[in-house]
Amino acid sequence: MLKRRLPIAPLVLAVLAVAVPAHADLTAFLGYSPTPFNRPARGISVGFGLLIVGFEFEYSNIPQRDDGPSVQPGIQFGMFNGLLQTPIAVGGVQFYFTAGGGVYREKLTGSLGDVSETNFATNVGGGAKIRLVGPLRLRLDYRMLTLRGDPVVARDPEDRYHRFYAGVNLAF
């Protein structure tokens, strides 16, 4: 006699998807990129998630640097990321790991004209969302962003940007 076996993993995931309410959040952030010289970074992200899996779209901008030892291009990122996060906040802190990809636009404006590059980028990183009051949280984040194509100004051999930020996160 043949027994019909139900795949357990898809069934469990389907039950969790129905049983666990989805949560969304919005983050406005300020930070810096030390690659290759310190520059400010700012941006916004919007995300949603279930128990341990989440997704977010993020826009960030690192402005052009014209002073100091080297001129550095401005760079903008539009990234779509997946998140793996702790299912509950432990002591008011929810940790997460993130990875994703998207588009970057690097632009250098100078007396000799404008040079720009638009291409694909990937990122990995992680951070924490720390509960403050009600739905407000402090978000601390680190990302390593890898550029594809021909960056305007050569940096390290892998053409990576590093970015650290702190932001105000509103959960709803």
- Assess if residue 3 is contained within a domain: no
- Assess if residue 9 is contained within a domain: no
- Assess if residue 8 is contained within a domain: no
DSSP SS3 for 40: strand
- Assess if residue 11 is contained within a domain: no
DSSP state of 65: B
pTM assigned to the model: 0.83
Kindly tell me if the per-residue pLDDT of 129 is higher than 60. yes
* Confidence band of 151 (pLDDT split at 50, 70, 90): confident
pLDDT in tens, 66-83: 876 678 889 999 999 999
Compute the distance between CA of residue 46 and CA of residue 57 in angstroms, rounded to an integer.
6
- Assess if residue 51 is contained within a domain: yes
Burial bucket for residue 43 (CB in 10 Å: 0-12, 13-18, 19+): buried
Compute the distance between CA of residue 145 and CA of residue 143 in angstroms, rounded to an integer.
6
Q: Where are the beta strands (DSSP E) in the chain?
A: 23-33, 39-49, 53-62, 74-85, 93-110, 113-133, 136-147, 160-171
Question: Total domain count for the chain?
Answer: 1
Compute the distance between CA of residue 15 and CA of residue 80 in angstroms, rounded to an integer.
26
Mean pLDDT of 20-27: 84
What domain range includes position 89? 20-171
Alpha-carbon torsion, ordered 141, 146, 151, 155, to 10 deg: 80
* Confidence band of 18 (pLDDT split at 50, 70, 90): low
Do 110 and 71 meet the contact criterion of CB atoms below 8 Å apart?
A: yes
Q: What is the rounded average pLDDT for all residues in the chain?
A: 88
Task: Report which of residues 10 and 2 the model is more confident about.
Answer: 10
- Assess if residue 86 is contained within a domain: yes
Compute the distance between CA of residue 162 and CA of residue 38 in angstroms, rounded to an integer.
10
Confidence at residue 12, expressed as pLDDT on a 0 to 100 scale: 63
Which structure tokens are listed for 125?
């990183």
Confidence at residue 120, expressed as pLDDT on a 0 to 100 scale: 96
- Assess if residue 36 is contained within a domain: yes
- Assess if residue 32 is contained within a domain: yes
Task: Compute the chain's Rg from CA coordinates.
Answer: 20
- CATH code for the domain of 60: 2.40.160.20
